[in-house]
Amino acid sequence: MALQSLDITRRSATSTQPPDRRKTQEVVKLIDVSKCIGCKACQAACMEWNDTRDVIGANHGVLDNPMDLTAASWTVMRYSEVETDRGLEWLIRKDGCMHCSDPGCLKACPAPGAIVQYSNGIVDFHEESCIGCGYCIAGCPFNIPRLSKKDSKVYKCTLCSDRVAVGLEPACAKTCPTGAIVFGTKEDMYHHAEGRISDLKSRGFAKAGIYDAPGVGGTHVMYVLQHADKPELYHGLVKDPDISPLVSLWKGVAKPLVTMAFGAGILGAVMHYVTKGPNEVSEEIEKEFKDEK
Amino acid sequence: MTNHWVDIKNANVIIVMGGNAAEAHPCGFKWVTEAKAHNKATFIVIDPRFTRSASVADLYAPLRTGTDIAFLGGVINYLLSNDKIQHEYVKAYTNAPFIVKEGYEFEDGLFSGYEAAKHMYDKSTWAYEIGPDGYAKVDPTLTHPRSVFQLLKKHYSRYTPDAVSNICGTPKDTFLKVCEIIATTSVPDRTLTFMYALGWTQHTVGSQMIRTAAMVQLLLGNVGMAGGGVNALRGHSNIQGLTDLGLLSNLLPGYLTLPGDKETDYNAYISARAFKPLRPGQLDYWQNYAKFHVSLMKAWFGKAATKENKWCFNWLPKLDKVYDVLQVFELMHQGKMNGYFCQGFNPLGSIPNKAKLIAAFSKLKYMVVIDPLATETSCFWENHGEYNDVKTSEIQTEVIRLPSTCFAEENGSLTNSGRWLQWHYRGAPPPGDAKPDADIIAGIYLKLRELYQKEGGAFPDSILNLTWNYDIPHAPSPEELAKEYNGKALADLTDPKDKSKVILKKGLQLDGFAQLQDDGSTSCGCWIFSGSWTEKGNMMARRDNYDPSGLGNTLNWAFSWPANRRILYNRASCDPSGKPWDPKRRLIWWDGAKWTGVDVPDFKPDVPPGNPMSPFIMQPEGVGRLFALDKMAEGPFPEHYEPFETPIDTNPLHPKVVNNPAARVFKDDRAAFGTSKDFPYAATTYRVTEHFHFWTKHTRIASILQPEQFVEIGVELAKEKGIKDGDWVKVWSNRGFIKAKAVVTKRLKPLQVNGKTVNHVGIPIHWGFKGLAKNGYLANTLTPFVGDANTQTPEFKSFLVNIEKA
């Protein structure tokens, strides 16, 4: 982390800009859904590199497993069987943090330095500063961060910032057997995607295109989609993601006030309620706790 | 593979059929995505299930499990009736012009010579007509009524698009679309590749399914071409090496064969395998059989193998029958085989009809298991409730488990599907007392030798005289073994043209199998591996990926058997005059003095174009066989036979002969077949990408990715049965039951077959009662104990079940 501190362009809950920073090239992980075979090698590589191990769960009537992102599963494959004018299609999307240029999580975060953005575009969580409030979860338009039940801190894909910092590609890109995941500068990835899109168009996917969500200023994880006009076909990929107006309010006006107000009581609680809901442990979570025992 | 993994990128059309490459071979599948992205290839998947391969295909065609010959027979009929074949290739490089002996017939589902009582054929009429010169007769006009070409036309004329659709359940327009795309590769500069795996081999007509694909490729002129061929995707890491080294009960290393019990004469044994040429001027490479065989015997028995004792021929076991896995477990079940060494194999999981296996193992006196894992086989005597409901106290079998290393814990070579021997190095030391398999076997051998030395015995010769000159006798190194397979000169080898010139000094490693001799002056443990460890060193460890042609023929990367050749039959990539069919994808060419190119020529290097020598040099007639002569058990042309458990109770082509008439079925197993009345659904077993056989349920990450046993059923069947996503279901056949979670999917559609709706039930195999994943039932509780008539590979892919919500 220490070496990368020079690359930080934004820090959560910090009004002053980091004073000195190195310029690095903006990077992108491009996921070509049309080449993905859903083998889950990326899920395995992610667990291996980041040394996370989810629970050995159960089958829920689908091939997806683990069923959702968790504090230990930073990426999961989402399988969607859809009927289009081409007949049955099985769309398989690797889900995980999109590394937004305008990250809702960072904006929502009240803990100084718990979320940072590097000049290469990677949005990273520094768990040692995380206070476990979960505002980032509400701030994320893609529903990505997950709160750990073990240490009450939030986890998500780091885009292997530790690998990228030393010139390696993310573990998932390294392991992907079909080259569906590629990694490079944003410019190069756009160029690569264009080639893929023209190939898809030649195969009858008239609406093939790139997914780079303008509502969040573009992302550093992009998709090539066969049906770019209907991202929701891909297990509900958000069509026009944007940051909740409440987060903008919090960030723009309210947060500095609250930060100043000693205790930050009322508004913080209100914010907590609107973004996270009441403080209740859901039945599901309770059940999971029991299952783990 | 006739070709190799990288070569898939050169294809214009790729068909995955009888396999699911994306799911079971995800790493190799990258070459399919390469071909699509950079060669504009069209990718077709033909399978009962819409698989992960199908998810990235341009066209998916469903078919009923077990009906691939009907589908491909229909393709042959389409190509012939629409004149979409590569004429010049078919005429010059296949046996289409050959004339078949009078008496050959096919009628009502049976070929001539059937002996009903024995379930076997007298194959004497499945032969060429031989002329007075001793060679097969040919008709270059292809019009003779008994020419292979005319017989082929007649045989497949029954496989009309309507007949195909009726048998396979494939919609007719989808079938025709597939045919049209296949037909585009009948021109010289377009190729099709077939990628298949256990989805073809695991049927009672599995070998013939593969043959049908080979025939399609011969008709299209796609064999020997870059981006062509018939490509088997091998499963277990090093299963290719296993077959190469002859670890099947009837084989010797390098696809040499053991003698039968009637073959007591050495010279007769050799001449039955060193086939006489069937056409003038053919290379007919198997004529060198004696050189391979004698060198093998010298490797095994050294000085004890002499010309006088026929190179120890009498020491070889003589087979009364083939001891394939089904035969072995049948004998065990009958109580006739009572000791069992089980090395790197989990038969309780991998052999059909688990109940029969449990009964068979329970009759053993002892079982020795050599494996890195605590397999179900080694724990067959443990009671695990419904998953393995045995009475432990009634089982007296002594089980000895010898922990072995896994591949990452030892040096050695692995042979991939493309026949590349790739050397690898130990990544980590083995845990605990685990030992390499070679050390374990060496320990057993040395003990046996000691006992024979001390006590003598009925036949000590082969044990006492076995070559065992390893530095550490109880731990032969992979390097020593590899050198032994390559072979060496036992005397100075001289140039056949100039006997005074020594080409290889005594004691040196051979350059390749061309140097092998049948006079005892060379030794070689596996002739096809010769050239893999020469005086230049370990050729398998080479890692230079220089690729001057861009076709992926990296001749300095590892070693590819035979002779470092990457694409088999590559002489057929040029026309008879020596000109490459496709100037953009030239593999070899004639440079005026010899054959040269970007691959090692599969031909005699100094025989110029225009010579009668034909490209298929391992065949006595020099050409590819559309008509298989007597090489197959059930006929010279593949014919559609139903699985032994068929959901339609008949064979629409010939109702009197429903399934493979030459299949071997043991008495009790025939009684254990079910019918569609009680078991109305067509079942098939398979692998999913998250797991590798029964191994990876022992690892945490793979178990996280797919933790629990499931079966797949279509939406329509689920609705009919009131089954929802994630419900527990019970699936049973006439041999037992399993329970699993239901995955209800649109990817399995009901098919209309012969006036009946056929639903499939898909059964992944990976779970069992040992390991980290959730306990499950061994899927082979359900499968029938019957195999392919040629290989005896069990019919795991087509059987009948019933299903209910549990």
Chain B hits for A83, CB-CB cut-off 8 Å, are: 746
Q: Which residues of B589-614 are buried (b: 16+ CB within 10 A; e: fewer)?
A: bbeeeebebbbbbbbeeebeeeeebb
Which helix (DSSP H) or strand (DSSP E) does residue B402 occupy? strand B398-403
pLDDT number for residue A269: 52
- Per-residue pLDDT averaged across A118-134, rounded? 96
d(CA B777, CA B760): 19
**A37: nearest CB among B26, B690, B744:** B26
Chain A hits for B701, CB-CB cut-off 8 Å, are: 44, 47-48, 53
> pLDDT for B221-260, tens place per residue?
999 999 999 999 998 888 999 999 998 899 999 999 999 9
Contact A90 B747 (CB under 8 A): yes
Q: Answer yes or no: CATH 3.40.50.740 is held by domain B237-416+420-558.
A: yes
d(CA B633, CA B192): 28
d(CA B260, CA B505): 37
> pLDDT for A39-91, tens place per residue?
999 999 999 999 999 999 999 999 999 999 999 999 999 999 999 999 999 99
Identify whether the C-beta of residue B70 lies closer than 8 Å to the C-beta of residue B46: no
**A61: nearest CB among B55, B725, B773:** B725
Chain A hits for B37, CB-CB cut-off 8 Å, are: 35, 195-196, 199
**A177: nearest CB among B30, B37, B708:** B30
For B515, the token pair is 């140097």
Identify whether the C-beta of residue B666 lies closer than 8 Å to the C-beta of residue B735: no
d(CA B697, CA A290): 24
Is it the case that residue B464 has pLDDT exceeding 60?
yes
Note the ipTM here: 0.95
Chain A hits for B724, CB-CB cut-off 8 Å, are: 61
The distance from CA B577 to its chain's CA centroid, rounded to whole angstroms, is 34
| Paired strand residues for B569 | none
Contact A61 B741 (CB under 8 A): yes
**In terms of DSSP bridges, do strands B412-415 and B420-424 run parallel, antiparallel, or are they unpaired?**
antiparallel
B742 CA: distance to closest CA in chain A (Å): 6
Q: What is the DSSP string of B344-379?
A: S--HHHHSS-HHHHHHHHHT-SEEEEEESS--TGGG
- Per-residue pLDDT averaged across B377-404, rounded? 98
In chain B, the residue whose alpha carbon lies closest to the alpha carbon of A36 is B56
**In terms of DSSP bridges, do strands B106-107 and B256-257 run parallel, antiparallel, or are they unpaired?**
unpaired
Chain A hits for B744, CB-CB cut-off 8 Å, are: 61
d(CA B669, CA B683): 18
User: Is A84 within 8 Å of chain B by CB?
Assistant: no
For residue B109, the number of C-alpha atoms closer than 13 Å in the C-beta half-sphere is 17
pLDDT number for residue A246: 77
Amino acid at the residue B605: P
**B744: nearest CB among A34, A55, A61:** A61
In chain B, the residue whose alpha carbon lies closest to the alpha carbon of A48 is B701
- Nearest alpha carbon to residue B572 among B9, B87, B89, B10: B89
Chain B hits for A48, CB-CB cut-off 8 Å, are: 701
Q: Which residues of B409-443 are buried (b: 16+ CB within 10 A; e: fewer)?
A: bbebbbbbbbbbbbbeeeeeebeeebbbbbbbbbe
Is it the case that residue B637 has pLDDT exceeding 80?
yes
- Nearest alpha carbon to residue A221 among A273, A274, A164: A164
- Per-residue pLDDT averaged across A192-214, rounded? 97
3-state helix, strand, coil in chain A (%, to 5): 35, 20, 45
Chain A hits for B705, CB-CB cut-off 8 Å, are: 40, 43-44, 65
**Which pLDDT band, with edges at 50, 70 and 90, does A277 fall under?**
low
Contact B743 A196 (CB under 8 A): no
- Per-residue pLDDT averaged across A201-206, rounded? 97
**Which pLDDT band, with edges at 50, 70 and 90, does A23 fall under?**
confident
For B338, the token pair is 């009572």
In percent, how much of chain B has pLDDT > 70? 100
Identify whether the C-beta of residue B775 lies closer than 8 Å to the C-beta of residue B703: no
pLDDT number for residue A24: 85
Domain positions in chain B: 6-232, 237-416+420-558, 667-805
pLDDT number for residue A20: 58
The distance from CA A260 to its chain's CA centroid, rounded to whole angstroms, is 30
Identify whether the C-beta of residue A223 lies closer than 8 Å to the C-beta of residue A232: no
pLDDT number for residue A264: 46
A205 CA: distance to closest CA in chain B (Å): 11
> pLDDT for B334-379, tens place per residue?
999 999 999 999 999 999 999 999 999 999 999 999 999 999 999 9
Q: Is the peptide bond before A66 cis (omega within 30 degrees of 0)?
A: yes
pLDDT number for residue A18: 73
Which domains occur in chain A, in start order?
Answer: 3-232 (3.30.70.20)
Chain A hits for B60, CB-CB cut-off 8 Å, are: 87-88
In chain B, the residue whose alpha carbon lies closest to the alpha carbon of A75 is B705
Contact A41 B26 (CB under 8 A): yes
Give Cα separations from A89 to A283, B56, B748 (angstroms): 35, 9, 13
Contact A38 B725 (CB under 8 A): no
pLDDT number for residue A272: 54
Contact A61 B704 (CB under 8 A): no
Is it the case that residue A283 has pLDDT exceeding 80?
no
> pLDDT for B47-81, tens place per residue?
999 999 999 999 999 999 999 999 999 999 999 99
In chain B, the residue whose alpha carbon lies closest to the alpha carbon of A34 is B56
Q: Answer yes or no: CATH 1.10.760.10 is held by domain B6-232.
A: no
Identify whether the C-beta of residue B295 lies closer than 8 Å to the C-beta of residue B353: no
Contact A59 B743 (CB under 8 A): yes
Contact B700 A63 (CB under 8 A): no
User: Is A233 within 8 Å of chain B by CB?
Assistant: no
Contact B55 A90 (CB under 8 A): yes
pLDDT number for residue A289: 47
Contact A58 B30 (CB under 8 A): no
Amino acid at the residue A32: D
Contact B704 A55 (CB under 8 A): yes
Q: In sequence order, what are the residues at sequence separation of 6 or more whose Cβ sits closer than 8 angstroms to the Cβ of residue A201?
A: A208
Separation of first and last alpha carbons in chain A = 35
Mutate to test the interface with B, among A36, A48, A63, A174 (most CBs of B within 10 A): A63
In chain B, the residue whose alpha carbon lies closest to the alpha carbon of A179 is B30
d(CA A225, CA A200): 9
**A40: nearest CB among B29, B32, B705:** B705
Reported pTM: 0.95
d(CA A261, CA A251): 15
Is it the case that residue B288 has pLDDT exceeding 60?
yes
d(CA A106, CA B230): 55
Chain B hits for A41, CB-CB cut-off 8 Å, are: 26
Q: In sequence order, what are the residues at sequence separation of 6 or more whose Cβ sits closer than 8 angstroms to the Cβ of residue A290?
A: none
For residue B29, the number of C-alpha atoms closer than 13 Å in the C-beta half-sphere is 31
Q: What is the 8-class DSSP label of residue B624? A: B
In chain A, the residue whose alpha carbon lies closest to the alpha carbon of B729 is A61
Q: What is the 8-class DSSP label of residue B381? A: T
The distance from CA B234 to its chain's CA centroid, rounded to whole angstroms, is 8
d(CA A225, CA A222): 9
| Paired strand residues for B681 | B801
Contact B707 A65 (CB under 8 A): yes
Chain B hits for A194, CB-CB cut-off 8 Å, are: none
Range of weakest confidence among A74-88, A264-278, B174-188, B402-416: A264-278
Contact A59 B54 (CB under 8 A): no
> pLDDT for B148-192, tens place per residue?
999 999 999 999 999 999 999 999 999 999 999 999 999 999 999
Contact B745 A35 (CB under 8 A): no
Give Cα separations from B647 to B69, B72, B209, B679, B802 (angstroms): 17, 21, 20, 8, 11
B251: three-class secondary structure by DSSP: strand
Chain B hits for A54, CB-CB cut-off 8 Å, are: 704
Q: Dihedrals φ, ψ of B618, to 5°? A: -85, -10
d(CA A20, CA B150): 83
pLDDT number for residue B443: 98
In percent, how much of chain A has pLDDT > 70? 82
Mutate to test the interface with A, among B701, B729, B767 (most CBs of A within 10 A): B701
Longest distance between any two alpha carbons in chain A, whole Å: 62
Contact B772 A56 (CB under 8 A): yes
Is it the case that residue A285 has pLDDT exceeding 70?
no
Q: Is the peptide bond before B562 cis (omega within 30 degrees of 0)?
A: yes
- Nearest alpha carbon to residue A61 among B763, B711, B685: B711
Helix runs in A77-141, H state only:
104-108, 135-139
For residue B503, the number of C-alpha atoms closer than 13 Å in the C-beta half-sphere is 15
| Paired strand residues for B415 | B421
| Paired strand residues for B802 | B732
Contact A56 B703 (CB under 8 A): yes
d(CA B465, CA B491): 20
Residue corresponding to tokens 């910092």: A165
Longest distance between any two alpha carbons in chain B, whole Å: 84
Identify whether the C-beta of residue B369 lies closer than 8 Å to the C-beta of residue B399: yes
Q: Domain B667-805 carries which CATH code?
A: 2.40.40.20
Q: What is the 8-class DSSP label of residue B407? A: G
Neighbour count for residue B163 (Cβ, 10 Å):
18
User: Is A256 within 8 Å of chain B by CB?
Assistant: no
**A90: nearest CB among B50, B58, B773:** B50
In chain B, the residue whose alpha carbon lies closest to the alpha carbon of A47 is B701
B762 CA: distance to closest CA in chain A (Å): 13
Give Cα separations from B300 to B438, B444, B468, B490, B525 (angstroms): 16, 17, 9, 13, 7
User: Is A243 within 8 Å of chain B by CB?
Assistant: no
Amino acid at the residue B80: L
For A173, the token pair is 């890109």
For A133, the token pair is 């409030």
**Which pLDDT band, with edges at 50, 70 and 90, does A22 fall under?**
confident
Is it the case that residue A287 has pLDDT exceeding 70?
no
Counting one residue from chain A and one from chain B, the pairs whose CB atoms sit within 8 A come to 124
User: Is A179 within 8 Å of chain B by CB?
Assistant: yes
User: Is A265 within 8 Å of chain B by CB?
Assistant: no
